[in-house]
Amino acid sequence: MTLEQAKQVAAYRAVDEFVTNNCIFGVGSGSTVVYAVQRLAERVDVENLKVTCVPTSFQAKQLIHKYNLTLGELDTHPNIDVTIDGADEVDSKMNLIKGGGGCLLQEKIIASCSKKLIVIADYTKDSVTLGDHYKKGIPVEVIPMAYVPIKNKITTLFGGDVKLRNAIAKAGPVVTDNGNFILDWLFPNNSFDWEEVNTIIKLIPGVVETGLFINMCHKAYFGQPEGTVSER
């Protein structure tokens, strides 16, 4: 089984278990979520479900349109029943690193408005501690004019290295859906108290949000190499 198939089985399981008729559904971002939206569209079609989809990114919104699903927004649907989203890494305490695709701010806002955040991922994202497998660091969304002082403050406070995320095949930094930059903090070891780290980084002026999702995830599904799905 390929990694893509592992993502698909996890996504299908989550949609089948958590999406119900008349629910308000938060649509996460990334490649695994594409399978969740495909499955949702099948179910809406076959079961005639009524589901309102609130996107976490421009990508998620495009997916909702592509599959002719009903689009909602926080203004009209501030209470979301369940959000299904991907993750870059999940530790044994259900702490997450998110933002590999740069959508962490809206993902965290939507997660914070959801009764349940369900993570879907392939088996490579399942870790004991953050950093076991994922080596790209913790994303931090920042106001562009402040990226250098924020970078310096994070390394002074915690060590490691901080890189401005650059766009692939294009000169210049990645610009998020919210017009901000992304810093990736390559943390020096995995013995941090992540809740404390998250609080401290968020207090630095110019930081908009971090990709650390602490105490937010209700359940995670990991597609396995042999085609099964493990859950936590």
Specify the residue, 29 or 95, whose C-beta has the smaller distance to ligand 5RP.
Answer: 29
29 part of the interface to ligand 5RP, by CB under 6 A: yes
8 Å CB contact between 27 and 63: yes
Q: Write out the two tokens for 117.
A: 């955040």
Specify the residue, 32 or 52, whose C-beta has the smaller distance to ligand 5RP.
Answer: 32
88 part of the interface to ligand 5RP, by CB under 6 A: yes
Q: Write out the two tokens for 147.
A: 């990226």
Specify the residue, 100 or 153, whose C-beta has the smaller distance to ligand 5RP.
Answer: 100
30 part of the interface to ligand 5RP, by CB under 6 A: yes
Specify the residue, 52 or 59, whose C-beta has the smaller distance to ligand 5RP.
Answer: 59
Rounded Cα distance between 120 and 15, Å, is 10
8 Å CB contact between 38 and 95: no
Respond yes or no: is residue 107 known to be catalytic: yes
Q: Is 141 exposed, middle or buried (0-12, 13-18, 19+ CB in 10 A)?
A: buried
24-32, 43-51, 67-75, 171-179 -> range binding ligand 5RP (CB under 6 A): 24-32
Q: Write out the two tokens for 3.
A: 């990694």
Write each residue from 92 to 131 as x if it is in contact with ligand 5RP (CB under 6 A), else as -, in one continuous string. Answer: ------xxxxxxx--x------------------------
Residue nearest ligand 5RP by beta-carbon distance:
30
Rounded Cα distance between 170 and 183, Å, is 17
Give the shortest CB-17-to-ligand 5RP separation in angstroms. Answer: 18
Question: Looking at 28, 55, 131, 137, which residue binds ligand 5RP (CB under 6 A)?
Answer: 28
Residue that has been written with the tokens 């995830």 in this structure: 217
Degrees (nearest 5) of the Cα angle 103, 106, 107?
70
Pick the catalytic residue: 107, 209, 226, 231? 107
- Residues of this chain that interact with ligand 5RP (CB under 6 A) are 28-32, 85-88, 98-104, 107
- Known catalytic residues? 107
